[in-house]
Amino acid sequence: MAGDMSIGCAALKRSSKLRSCTSAADTDSMRVPSDHRDNGSLVKPPPVPPQNMRGGLRVYKIVILGDGGVGKSAVTLQFVSHSFLDYHDPTIEDSYQQQAVIDNEAALLDILDTAGQVEFTAMRDQYMRCGEGFIICYSVTDRHSFQEASEYRKLITRVRLSEDIPLVLIANKVDLESQRRVTTEEGRNLANQFGCPFFETSAALRHYIDEAFYTLVREIRRKEMQKALGTDSNSEKIHTGRRSRWWRIRSIFALVFRRRRNLN
Ligand SMILES: Nc1nc2c(ncn2[C@@H]2O[C@H](COP(=O)(O)OP(=O)(O)OP(=O)(O)O)[C@@H](O)[C@H]2O)c(=O)[nH]1
Ligand SMILES: [Mg+2]
């Protein structure tokens, strides 16, 4: 399917085989992003783990989820190759890479386009564990896909044991206005419920495609920064007592190490 499409030189389609969460190819030199200021004081963000680096670029692992036929592959292909996939060939799993400069910082987006058809969803839990950020996609022409968006959100929360995972909700196919079954208001309310940004997109018209992916990268960066500053409030919300205690001890150690590093 998508393999027949020609991809621009900045983008690269990778094998459809399922990848492990970290691979040897992912490993590269350690890089410390530029310093950030918070309330006037200089705060050093933690070093980016080596498995998140490739060719000197920070890799952002993005997973696109949603019901079958909502346009996940079309949205992804518009983003990486500026072309519209005008037929439906159900995806099993495809992976793409796209370089981008977002807020003056280079990024390598590693995008996993997943299966919406139930026959192909056996590996869902595995790729939910790998993703750093998720795009949940529904079609404005398909009410059932809108209802399913909540199920995808629940699944991410269950697999990741956190409600604080970077997420963007997109309502695709807005060019098909006469077939609309989900209002903008409903989409916005759902995004508010999820606590995430929301875009109405059209893969056919390349409408708000870049914005959706760039915003997700910004969300990943923002949550990373919150973690570094110890201000991420949600992350412990649904942990069990045992995990919470371990998590607190770990956080205290991390804080002590960070302070000692800053003193050196
Ligand atoms: N008019 C219009 N059609 C779209 C849009 N996005 C996707 N489509 C069409 O919808 C159909 C399904 O698109 P896909 O991208 O294959 O859907 P998918 O979500 O990847 O489907 P699965 O791989 O089966 O999960 C195709 O015929 C696309 O051409 C859009 O924004 N507007
Ligand atoms: Mg697809």
User: Which tens digits make up the pLDDT trace of 211-245?
Assistant: 999 999 999 999 998 888 877 655 444 444 444 55
- Most confidently modeled range among 4-18, 96-110, 246-260: 96-110
69 C-beta closer than 6 A to ligand 1: yes
Q: What percentage of the chain exceeds 90 in pLDDT?
A: 54
pLDDT at 250: 64
pLDDT at 52: 86
Query: What residues have a C-beta under 5 A from ligand 2, the ion?
Result: 72-73, 91
pLDDT at 11: 47
Q: Is residue 230 part of a domain?
A: yes
CATH number at residue 236: 3.40.50.300
Pocket test for ligand 1, best of 1, 76, 78, 88 (most atoms within 8 A of CB): 88
115 C-beta closer than 6 A to ligand 1: yes
Q: Is residue 93 part of a domain?
A: yes
pLDDT class of 89 with cuts at 50, 70, 90: very high
108 CA distance to ligand 1 centroid (A)?
Answer: 25
Q: Which two tokens stand for residue 175?
A: 């060019």
Q: Is residue 242 part of a domain?
A: yes
Q: Is residue 30 part of a domain?
A: no
Q: Could you read off the pLDDT of 135-172 as tens digits, one per residue? A: 999 999 999 999 999 999 999 999 988 888 999 999 99
What CA–CA distances, in Å, run from 223 to 73, 163, 207, 208?
27, 12, 26, 22
Residue 101 parent element (H or E): strand 93-102
Contact 174, 200 (CB under 8 A): yes
Domains of the chain: total: 1
Q: Is residue 71 part of a domain?
A: yes
Q: Which two tokens stand for residue 132?
A: 């750093």
Report which ligand 1 atom has the smallest distance to the Cα of 113.
20
How confident is the model over 21-34, as a mean pLDDT? 35
What CA–CA distances, in Å, run from 225 to 33, 103, 106, 164, 246?
11, 15, 17, 13, 22
84 CA distance to ligand 1 centroid (A)?
Answer: 9
pLDDT class of 117 with cuts at 50, 70, 90: confident
Q: Is residue 88 part of a domain?
A: yes
91 C-beta closer than 6 A to ligand 1: yes
DSSP 55-91: TTEEEEEEEEEESTTSSHHHHHHHHHHS----S----
Q: Could you read off the pLDDT of 189-210 as tens digits, one per residue? A: 999 999 999 999 999 999 999 9
Q: Which two tokens stand for residue 130?
A: 């790998």
pLDDT class of 46 with cuts at 50, 70, 90: low
More confident: 32 or 116: 116
* Torsion over CA: 122, 62, 30, 235 (sign): negative
Q: Is residue 20 part of a domain?
A: no
Q: Is residue 43 part of a domain?
A: no
Tell me, what DSSP letter sits at residue 102?
E
Q: Strand, helix or coil at 3?
A: helix
Flag whether pLDDT at 21 surpasses 50. Answer: no
Q: Which domain holds residue 113?
A: 53-252
